[in-house]
Copies of this chain bind each other. A is one copy, B any other.
Amino acid sequence: MTTVAVAGVGLTVFGRYLDRPLKNLAAEATLAACSDASISPSEIDFVAGSNSLAGLLTGQECVRTQTVLAPLGIRGVPVFNVENACASASSAFNLAVRAVAHGEARCALAIGFEKMSHPDRTKTLAALTAAADLDEAQPEDPLRSMFMDLYAEEVRHHMENYGSTAEDFARIVVKNRSHAALNPHAQYRSPCDIEDVLSSPVVTPPLTKLMCSPVGDGAAAVVLFAAEQSRIAPIVAASEIRSGTRLPTHDENDAVLVARAAYEAAGLGPDDVTLAEVHDAAAPAELLAYEDLGFAPRGEGSRLIRDGVTSLGGAKPVNTSGGLIARGHPIGATGLAMVVEGVLQLRGQAGDRQVEGARVALVQNAGGWVGEAPAASAVHILRTP
């Protein structure tokens, strides 16, 4: 099996682009990734593309990736439109990695693109509900996301059992906002304090509005080569994805199982991870991820945020990009935006938010909800060559 390297990355500024076409966002990220990899788009010989909401928001289904790539001259190659809710872009990344690892592609593109902004906010929220099994979950209130209710339910268990607090979750928001302030691609770059977070409107207890990732638009792309073609590009040490493995305990959930598989594939462990981008769709999910990924023992995640361990300058910075909460979460782009941040850090190109001595970057992404379990859970591990 060929070792895979990330040869190029591209990312739009995440934000609200009501008047900017989705194709335009996708083209910007794709061309940036190609330019970064020093290739022409016509050299790409495999594409996995992800988008989650355009079907319901614009009516465009079936061939979404082709519609954004054909104008760039990327034709005559396998193109797969891939979906897995908020883990769609991780799924596209995983397929592109497989293609290069097995010698099927010389130069694979994974592209995620999403435009959630819609003049009618209820349409965006309804589209998000389609990431769950609609037979199981119809939201009672069309103005709220059922996923925030799921996150809240999960974290209430953690609060009761392990003493995590709303202040801890607020600290995560404050941290991620402070990281985003250093990231020119982030959606929310203004800092905030704990009081701001706790006093923002309650979404569902204990979540307040500032603890929840925002609606946003953007695109992220990576170009993958065989590692032997580049001596400097970061390596994909592992890319693992699973659907709905959740067991009936909170201790051994999907993220735990997928992370274990990824660590094993990479021959690395939690202590080797220099920095991580994790799926903070709601702030408490980041705290749970500390434990799921082995950065802290079960029940002790709060310590990491209280002690600044996961802040820039701490021993294990998490969500240096600002995370879903502050960099933004255009859902079909998110998994790849996480990879882009990992690559920039490993290349020493993360500017003011650079983690010194970054050698191993972990990405954790999850999506959807079916049968009491996440529909997809992904962990990728990147390392310096």
List residues of A whose CB falls within 8 A of some B CB.
Answer: 1, 23, 47, 52-53, 55-56, 58-64, 66-67, 70-71, 75-85, 88, 91, 94-95, 98-99, 101-102, 104, 126-127, 129-135, 241-245, 257, 367-371, 373, 375-376
- Which residues does chain B contribute within 8 Å of A375, judged by CB atoms? 62-63, 66, 79
Within the assembled complex, what's the spacing in Å between the Cα atoms of A85 and B55?
Answer: 13
Which label, helix, strand, loop or mixed, suits the secondary structure of the A interface? mixed
List the 8 shortest-distance A-B pairs measured between CB atoms, nearest first: A70-B371, A76-B245, A79-B243, A61-B130, A63-B375, A63-B368, A62-B85, A81-B83
Contact of A83 among B83, B85, B95 (CB under 8 A): B83
> Within 8 Å CB of A23, what residues of B?
135
The reply to whether B76 and A84 form a contact with Cβ atoms under 8 Å apart is no
* B59-A88 in contact (CB<8A): no
Which chain B residue shows the least CB distance to A58? B134
- Establish whether residues A61 and B66, one from each chain, have CB atoms under 8 Å apart when the complex forms: no
Which B residues are in CB contact (< 8 Å) with A55?
55-56, 61, 130
Distance (whole angstroms) from the CB of A81 to the closest CB of chain B: 4
Instruction: Assess whether A91 is in contact with B98, with CB atoms less than 8 Å apart.
Output: no
If the complex has contacts A76-B243, A102-B102, A245-B75, are A83 and B63 also in contact, measured as CB distance less than 8 A?
Answer: yes
Bound: A67/B350 CA distance, A: 39
A94 pairs with B78, CB closer than 8 A: yes
Query: Does the CB pair B70–A244 fall under 8 Å?
Result: yes
> B133 near A61 (CB under 8 angstroms)?
no
Chain B residues contacting A134 (CB-CB under 8 Å) are: 58-60, 67
